[in-house]
Structure 1
């Protein structure tokens, strides 16, 4: 557990947050690692931005983080959740056994938090079976069960408030601009503190490039979101996964470049002729552990974009789900 406030030496220099703001960096960054957490102190106690995975060990890190600041978990009066994915909201199952805070979520994420099985749709878990990549019966795959199996469980809960998507979102002594970044989650939000130049990017930017799915907004919306982030006068990046950075615009561009390199690999694989969707998944994504999720979902996002741009043609089941260059 790395708590950032008094200052930590990183490879790119010392990082110190303003008074009243604290950051918990989880050492493991590879998905589905528990998300990093932001804590904001105010005269009433504390506000948490994200709470991490739903396992006791992860929740204990949250409690320890709060205690390091001289607070009790009972002092947390507000929770802001960047989106309703298990690695960001899972610990609510434990938190709500001890306190009854205000809970903020983007409006489109509120139903997902209340009924987590809805994530099966936004994660497009039935998409692989369409191409013969998943189980014969789509209902055999359940994203909540999947996350539980990788120690990141999630239970349903009710959000009390909607994150304002216009104007300023005031948390303690800090005033944030809310930037909605679809693609990874339809209602994922990044928070930007203009006074201090601090960008809490959620999963939009970090040490690893996150996945995206068609029903969550696709790669086009994700790239558009990165464009919006790149226009902010940010001086410090606090990601949900990975280390803080004093070069936020470089990190944003690294994420964009990684996504576009993936797209180039897709086009390169098609140069020699048509390729079936299943074969294209395994050629572009070398990790066999993601051939059912999230590789097919990401590939579909790129093919949707490339087809819209007139660069590829995707043929249907009668023609073997073939993809070819125009």
Structure 2
């Protein structure tokens, strides 16, 4: 079976590890920051094979602290491989589905041409959390992770999921953002009170941007290159436009997230602003 992990050093002591279940595809990124006595892994991929720890050992043999950026299958699936795991508790409700065999196999192998060898291997070697969840600890807004000279500050940016977080390294001016913001961001699991979830996302993103600059490098979950700062500012603009009722050009969304079971009964719409698309539930406005 081919090695589904690709590694690239993107900064001093920082490695991008991309889980490429589709040969030649964009893959899903996780980031390994290597300290003097331990290493930090941000996100963990789908975990459809059990070889991530071995892949990390080609870079470092230090103990690993794994921080999950949010609770979707492509970011939390490999986390049960590790003993020291942190995640925001607001995403605990996602774990039974996100960690299920059926959901992860469908996400990886149910959308186009299938790598039959990888498929057969995954059926026997998918990361098994031993039930519907695994041991993890809560991490939240303002908490600090110290890794020798690298100090990371936790920012909650609830939107893509209610427990989405980013880690900011102020000294080296970069952030690990998972899917907290992207060119296309879908808001499917917001609180059900009118406007509350949208306002929480806006406020969280606005606060994060106040603590960063145009020079801050954003390492994102689904791009081999840093996410342009302007994507985040465009998303903030999109949120304000939707909250202000500028919806005349919005259309019904046909995105994969709009077709999920979690979106059933919701009126998923798309709002475009600059280079971004915001997918939201119009029933919550």
Give the TM-score of the pair, scaled to structure 2: 0.67
**Structure having the larger proportion of residues in strand:** 2
Quick one: distance in 2 between partners of 1:287 and 1:110? Answer: 24
Q: 1:284 to 1:264 in 2, by over 3 A?
A: farther
Q: 1:112 to 1:171 in 2, by over 3 A?
A: farther
Quick one: distance in 1 between partners of 2:28 and 2:243? Answer: 27
Residue matched to 2:86: 104
Contact 1:21 1:38 in 2 (8 A): yes
Q: 1:207 to 1:304 in 2, by over 3 A?
A: closer
Greater shift in the superposed pair: 159-168 or 256-265: 256-265
1:159-174 correspondence to structure 2 within 5 Å: 159-174=135-150
The yes-or-no answer on 1:50 pairing with 2:43 is yes
Quick one: distance in 1 between partners of 2:135 and 2:77? Answer: 13
Alpha-carbon distance, 1:25 to partner = 4.1
Alpha-carbon distance, 1:23 to partner = 2.0
Query: What secondary structure does 1:206 align onto?
Result: coil
Contact 2:20 2:28 in 1 (8 A): no
Residue matched to 2:78: 91
Give the TM-score of the pair, scaled to structure 1: 0.60
Contact 1:25 1:242 in 2 (8 A): no
1:291-302 correspondence to structure 2 within 5 Å: 291=259, 293=261, 294=263, 296=266, 298-299=268-269, 301-302=281-282
Residue matched to 1:251: 231
Count of aligned residue pairs for this structure pair: 242
Quick one: distance in 2 between partners of 1:210 and 1:241? Answer: 14
Gaps of 5+ in 2: 110-125, 270-279
Residue matched to 2:202: 223
Query: What secondary structure does 1:40 align onto?
Result: strand
The yes-or-no answer on 1:192 pairing with 2:168 is yes
Q: 1:55 to 1:3 in 2, by over 3 A?
A: same
Residue matched to 2:133: 157
Quick one: distance in 2 between partners of 1:261 and 1:218? Answer: 15
The yes-or-no answer on 1:41 pairing with 2:31 is no
Query: What secondary structure does 2:247 align onto?
Result: helix
Quick one: distance in 2 between partners of 1:80 and 1:49? Answer: 5
Greater shift in the superposed pair: 40-49 or 229-238: 40-49
Q: Decide which of 284, 293, 317 is 2:252's aligned counterpart.
A: 284
Query: What secondary structure does 1:185 align onto?
Result: coil
Gaps of 5+ in 1: 6-15, 120-141, 271-282, 306-326
Contact 2:186 2:257 in 1 (8 A): no
Alpha-carbon distance, 1:89 to partner = 1.0
Residue matched to 1:17: 11
**Structure having the larger proportion of residues in helix:** 1
Q: 1:144 to 1:101 in 2, by over 3 A?
A: closer
